[in-house]
Amino acid sequence: MNFRVLLAGGAAPLALIAPGAFAAEAPVEAVPTATAPVDAPADAQVSSAGTGANDSGDIVVTARRRAETAQDVPLAISVVGGEHIDSTGSFNVGRLQQLTPTLQFYSSNPRNTAVNIRGLGVPFGLTNDGIEQGVGIYVDDVYNSRVASATFDFLDVKQIEVLRGPQGTLYGKNTTAGAINITTNQPTFDFEGKAEVSVGNLNFVQAKGAISGPITDTLAARFAVSSTSRRGTIYNVTTNQWIQSQDNLGLRGQLLFKPSEAFSITLAGDYSEQDAVCCGSVYVRTGTTQRATNRQFAALAAAQGYTVPSTNPFDRLTDLDSALQAGNKIGGVSLKVKWDVGPGTLTSVTAWRFWDWKPQNDRDFTGLPIVAKSQNPSQQDQYTQELRYNYSGDSLDFVLGAFGFYQRIDTQGTEAHGSASTKWNVNPSSSLYNTQVLDGLTALNTQYLKNTSLAVFGQASWKVTPELTLQPGIRVNYDKKDGFYQRRVFTGAGTEILLDGTTSATKTAQLAIFTPQTISPSFSDWNFSYDFTASYKVARGVLVYATYAKTFKSGGINQNGVPVDASNNPILAAATVKPESVQHYEAGIKTEFWDRRAIFNLSAFRTDIKDYQANVNNGQFGVLRGYLANAGAVRSQGIEADFSVRPSERFNAYVNSAYTDATYRKFVDAPCPPELSGGTSSPANCDISGQRLPGVSKWSFSFGFEANAPVEFLKQDGQVYLGYDGSYRSDFSSNPTPSAYTWIDGYSLSNFRLGFRTDAGLDVYGWVRNAFDQDYFEQLFVGPGNTGLIAGLPGDPRTWGFTVRTNF
């Protein structure tokens, strides 16, 4: 923490250097590109670094692995510029979702994070290492297999493209729901730099800086740093600490060797770490389950004299008694080689990445020592190699590629119960109720995963006429996963509990909490994907397109254990899950009008998934943390509309909207909601066919504007400006099976900024986020044991602060 404070303080003088020392830079974005999900109006008057605009004002993207304007790409795409990322405080994917309505982000801690597009991507709930994410995250062409990378601060980002819909024929790893393509600023042969410092309430301090320039005529370097710290938003009355804090550090260095225009090598390395007091929850409510009255939360708490610190979750009080930790380190090295060979360009991207996760959690969500310890630290190494050949001609463009991936994950888990566990889990009528039979009961979990994937892919664009383009694509993929999971169980006295055929009341009670298990699941399979897009330029500035895609998300294995039979033997048939089979249909229109000052884009889509990989949560404390199963069928369909306008260089505005209808089409053996669970006659599973997928709002919007006026202030020419960014989402379910107790009400957030920027590159502004102090939940959690407890994670309250930024 001291190092981060020193880093922030050291960057401050850079940000305050006299603006007259810097070269002039256009102070206004071409449009709110960060907020116009398709792109911004192509205005030739203004070009601003970091917005994705080229000299003509068009937004340049690489969604099809080549540089082209976003309006020419027959694809639903959100383009978010680096300048707008900074000015709106959208410094990670969690905040980015407020600008892109079809992006969903949920995170109870870095490991248990989901990034979905149109409601699809990864199952909602505890993360299982044995499956792939359906939204690929790429940073400078390097695939990030761990969605935990989405929790880190963006570092020196030029722009972000959110590609909606299957992308497998251009991106060599599972991207059945879409891809997030992040491009950072690259080394330059002209000296340049930028610095930024922000301070705010909740002890918020953020410092960012980057510097770039030549070392020789053929060698350039760039270095960037980011540091964020903030006090937590929930107060723990047990430990007298603020939790849910931020404490992030990021470093990135790059070397560019460019002996000629036809050849370049970029060596990049990055390192990021988080060391927050995290992650916890607050009491929200209780709901009646099928348990007996004396086994409901109220009776169990009263039996041990326990009361929650507050029944109002927005008092932001908790009393979690277990240690909390979210130590998170991620980084790696990549080597990118680009070589113009013949009529095209050959690109090689070689990368190694690591992830080190050191957590501690309180899994009972209370201040009682029920689950005294819950931690599953893990270490990951991944290696990727991608080769691509791009060709662009008068009538034909194509991309051919090959991709190789290897991943190794090792996890060492410890789960232990405390002195309150017996009275919480054992029936009062049992002779064991007043004993400490569960105190100190411990499970030691060991697991590893070896994940190999190989793919070849390609996509061609054939310009049949100047107006009509046909675009077929294919991908062939091979996946192999080998896993190991072992759970050993020990009593409080240290004696190992074995499944040796002996029984006793004590052993039965202990096995109801933790059951020993050893499995070695494996999966391998080939799959073939393809897509076809036809696009037609109806008139200047009007493009219509239609797409069909048949693709797969590879099968997986259960890395957290599987259910057991009546004899406590693992049900090995549940050790693997089938691949998801995806059929996707989409049609859209992209338009520019009013002399290219306005853009309106519309898309309609339907995605049908067979054998959807769903997360199933077990109701007991420690039997299973959650396992994977295949739902019969899922469908996500909807309409997206994006509008942006810039009538003059003094004003721009945008409105983006999405209607998403994402439901289980067939899931007849799903886990039951808490209101139907826990009783002796409760159904083993429930039919939730037709119900909504978790985390999906039917309606979501983002909207905003920026207005400016020329002024002279302190003898500096510049602009005073006012910006507003708002978002709204309707209600959504926060449980894999919809429950009356876990619906999150819809909410709207408003962010404002007011500032002055000079023609020389200095920008000073104040900001307020969640300006109207909206109370809302990011997630709700069903407490273990079917007691009816519902805990939650409140969203950030109103925050405010000031930022000083300069470019030179």
pLDDT per position as a tens digit, 739-748: 999 999 999 9
236-245, 337-346, 569-578: the lowest-pLDDT one = 569-578
What tokens were used for 171?
A: 């991106």
d(CA 420, CA 300) in angstroms, rounded, equals: 10
Is residue 409 within 8 A of residue 449, CB to CB? The reply is yes
- Higher pLDDT pick, 776 / 15: 776
Is residue 755 within 8 A of residue 762, CB to CB? The reply is no
Q: Is the pLDDT assigned to residue 520 strictly greater than 90?
A: yes
Q: Report pTM.
A: 0.90
Q: How confident is the model at residue 108 (pLDDT cuts 50, 70, 90)?
A: confident
Distances (CA, A) of 528 to 334, 482, 548, 554, 555: 28, 21, 15, 11, 13
d(CA 487, CA 600) in angstroms, rounded, equals: 55
Position 248 scores a pLDDT of: 94
d(CA 778, CA 418) in angstroms, rounded, equals: 29
Closest CA to 524 of 618, 456, 454, 573: 454
Domains parsed from the chain with CATH numbers: 2-807 (2.40.170.20)
Q: How confident is the model at residue 618 (pLDDT cuts 50, 70, 90)?
A: low
Q: Is the pLDDT assigned to residue 305 strictly greater than 70?
A: yes
Q: Is the pLDDT assigned to residue 253 strictly greater than 60?
A: yes
Q: Which residues pair with 546 in a beta bridge?
A: 534, 587
pLDDT tens readout for residues 787-798: 999 999 999 999
Q: Is the pLDDT assigned to residue 250 strictly greater than 90?
A: yes
What percent of the chain is predicted at pLDDT more than 90? 73
SS3 category, 7: helix
Q: Is the pLDDT assigned to residue 307 strictly greater than 60?
A: yes
Query: Once rounded to an integer, what is the mean pLDDT over residues 169-197?
Result: 90
Position 12 scores a pLDDT of: 40
Query: Once rounded to an integer, what is the mean pLDDT over residues 515-532?
Result: 95
Position 405 scores a pLDDT of: 96
Closest CA to 772 of 752, 793, 750: 750
Q: Is the pLDDT assigned to residue 45 strictly greater than 70?
A: no
Position 17 scores a pLDDT of: 34
The answer to whether the Cα torsion of 2, 3, 8, 9 is positive or negative is positive
Q: Cα 142 from chain centroid?
A: 16
Query: Once rounded to an integer, what is the mean pLDDT over residues 163-190?
Result: 89
Is residue 766 within 8 A of residue 169, CB to CB? The reply is no
Q: Which H or E run contains 85? A: helix 82-87
SS3 category, 179: strand
The three-state (H, E, C) secondary structure of 572-591, written as one string: HHHCEECCEEEEEEEEEEEE
Backbone angles phi, psi at 7, to 5 degrees: -65, -45
Position 88 scores a pLDDT of: 82
Position 84 scores a pLDDT of: 84
Query: Once rounded to an integer, what is the mean pLDDT over residues 439-456?
Result: 96
Q: Which H or E run contains 325? A: strand 325-341
Q: Cα 76 from chain centroid?
A: 19
Q: Cα 267 from chain centroid?
A: 26
Q: Is the pLDDT assigned to residue 572 strictly greater than 60?
A: yes
**Under 8 Å CB-to-CB from 136, ≥6 apart: which residues?**
143, 167, 171, 173, 174, 175, 178, 179, 180
Query: Once rounded to an integer, what is the mean pLDDT over residues 564-570?
Result: 84
What tokens were used for 434?
A: 């007043």
Q: Is the pLDDT assigned to residue 2 strictly greater than 60?
A: no
Mean pLDDT of the chain: 89
Closest CA to 485 of 562, 564, 579, 554: 562
pLDDT tens readout for residues 601-611: 999 999 999 99
Position 401 scores a pLDDT of: 94
Q: How confident is the model at residue 5 (pLDDT cuts 50, 70, 90)?
A: very low
430-444, 482-496, 551-565, 685-699: the lowest-pLDDT one = 551-565
Q: Is the pLDDT assigned to residue 498 strictly greater than 50?
A: yes
Q: Is the pLDDT assigned to residue 93 strictly greater than 60?
A: yes
- Higher pLDDT pick, 480 / 629: 480
Position 252 scores a pLDDT of: 98
SS3 category, 594: coil
Is residue 576 within 8 A of residue 521, CB to CB? The reply is yes
Query: Once rounded to an integer, what is the mean pLDDT over residues 64-70?
Result: 82
pLDDT tens readout for residues 109-165: 888 888 899 999 887 766 778 888 889 899 999 999 887 777 788 899 999 999 999
Query: Once rounded to an integer, what is the mean pLDDT over residues 295-318?
Result: 97
Position 626 scores a pLDDT of: 66
Is residue 600 within 8 A of residue 591, CB to CB? The reply is yes
Q: How confident is the model at residue 95 (pLDDT cuts 50, 70, 90)?
A: confident
The conformation of residue 673, written as its DSSP 8-state character, comes to P
The answer to whether the bond into 686 is cis (omega within 30° of 0) is no
What tokens were used for 641?
A: 């509309």
